[in-house]
Amino acid sequence: MRMLYISPVQGLERYFDVLSEKCLAKYLLTKRTSSLSTKIGNANEILRNCHFCERRCGVNRLEHEIGYCGVEAISRYASEFMHYGEEPELVPSHTIFFTGCTFSCVYCQNWDISTAPTSGTPALPERMAEIIGMRKHQGARNVNFVGGDPTPHLHTILQIMDKCNVNTPMVWNSNMYCSRETMGLLSGVIDVYLADFRYGSDMCARKYSNVNNYWDITTRNFLLAHEDAEVIVRHLVLPNHLECCTKPIVQWIAKHMPNVRFNLMFQYTPYYKAHQYPEINRRLSCDERKKALEIVEEAGLRNLV
């Protein structure tokens, strides 16, 4: 695996230079082999029996059937802008917030977007490609597809890539609950997975995000992503969830992807419906932050941000 360790100062530029070279190679290869048009065709087929994510609703979105995420065949986005709050080597990151989500996190920070899949502006591929070009000229270092979650919008995102005339790294900013088929379509076109690893237990995933089989699906996808592209793992530490979630996640990463970029996040805030769950209805305590850092240190993993 070609993951690079980023030293605190000079490594950042090197990381991104290497990344850009890889992106260019990937872009040229994709264009040359026309695999992108094949991927678009395959994604449109999946839309007829939607299994972009592991909910596998099987609805025909081209015939206006709606699955769990509520996203129609036409993708919509709530906003796009230059984001300066992402990991240092990614900023400024041109971030596109698609509406709808495959999860239902009770503490969702973007609940106004994730729970309103039919709101927002239609994401017309040619127009989005123009916007990406404009942001690139303004200094964007990449384009960052997020939401909600980008997974229900895969068919649109592939079409946007096809229309893009600028060479820019493609960032997939996701909960990693997509299907194996989706991972196959992402292979070769995504340069960076900016990937949330939320839960160390299926019980917690069921309780707070209403998903089944979380651990097996996400760990499978992390391994696939790691074989194929750069990965930045984000773990948002939840109050009272260090033993059941933080610890197994950190230990799994240390075992399977020890040199990965790992971002232990302490900014949890009880948004949306979190007040209905007393155990997560507060911010992290100082002790919890300290304990989370100890878990990372004990596992031999470097928290690089």
Task: Give the interface with ligand SF4 as residue ranges (CB under 6 A).
Answer: 50-53, 55-57, 59, 67-69, 71, 102, 151-152
For 215, the token pair is 């651990």
Q: Which residue number has the CB closest to ligand SF4?
A: 67
- Residue 165's alpha-carbon distances to 10, 56, 131, in angstroms, are 30, 33, 11
The distance of closest approach from Cβ of residue 271 to ligand SF4 in the complex, given in angstroms and rounded to an integer, is: 22
The distance of closest approach from Cβ of residue 211 to ligand SF4 in the complex, given in angstroms and rounded to an integer, is: 10
SS3 128: helix
C-alpha atoms less than 13 angstroms from C-alpha of 115 in its C-beta half-sphere: 12
User: Which is nearer to ligand SF4, 152 or 270 (by Cβ)?
Assistant: 152
User: Which is nearer to ligand SF4, 118 or 167 (by Cβ)?
Assistant: 118
User: Which is nearer to ligand SF4, 52 or 262 (by Cβ)?
Assistant: 52
Task: Give the count of beta carbons closer than 10 Å to the beta carbon of residue 194.
Answer: 25
The distance of closest approach from Cβ of residue 37 to ligand SF4 in the complex, given in angstroms and rounded to an integer, is: 22
Whether 242 contacts 283, CB under 8 Å? no
User: Which is nearer to ligand SF4, 51 or 94 (by Cβ)?
Assistant: 51
For 82, the token pair is 């230059």
User: Which is nearer to ligand SF4, 89 or 149 (by Cβ)?
Assistant: 149
User: Which is nearer to ligand SF4, 52 or 197 (by Cβ)?
Assistant: 52
**Total number of residues shown for the chain:** 305
For 36, the token pair is 């992108």
The distance of closest approach from Cβ of residue 96 to ligand SF4 in the complex, given in angstroms and rounded to an integer, is: 17
- Give CA angle at 12 (8, 17), nearest 5°: 160
The distance of closest approach from Cβ of residue 59 to ligand SF4 in the complex, given in angstroms and rounded to an integer, is: 6
Chain centroid, CA 188 distance in Å: 16
CA atoms of 123 and 179, how far apart (whole Å): 23
User: Which is nearer to ligand SF4, 92 or 150 (by Cβ)?
Assistant: 150
One-character DSSP codes across 132-170: HHHHHHTT-S-EEEESS-SGGGHHHHHHHHHH--S---E
Whether 280 contacts 208, CB under 8 Å? yes
The distance of closest approach from Cβ of residue 46 to ligand SF4 in the complex, given in angstroms and rounded to an integer, is: 8
The distance of closest approach from Cβ of residue 100 to ligand SF4 in the complex, given in angstroms and rounded to an integer, is: 7
